[in-house]
Amino acid sequence: MNVTADNLKKEVKVYMYAILLNIVSELDGEKAQLSKAIEVRNHFERALELDPLDATTWHSLGIWHYSFANLSTSQRFLASIFYSKPPSSTFVEALRHFERAEAIKPGFYSSNNYYMGLTLEQMNKPEEAKAQFLLAFLAPVVTMDDGEIHKKAHDHLKKKYKITREQLMEEQGNNSKPPSFNK
Q: Where are the domains of the chain?
A: 1-108, 111-183
- Is residue 41 predicted with pLDDT exceeding 50? yes
For 126-179, write each residue's pLDDT tens digit.
999 999 999 999 999 999 999 999 999 999 999 999 998 888 888 777 764 444
For 68-107, write each residue's pLDDT tens digit.
999 888 878 877 777 777 788 999 999 999 999 999 999 9
CATH of 1-108, one of 1.10.10, 3.30.9, 2.60.40, 1.25.40: 1.25.40
Measured CA to CA, the distance from residue 77 to residue 169 in angstroms comes to 44
Residue 25: pLDDT band by 50, 70, 90 thresholds?
very low
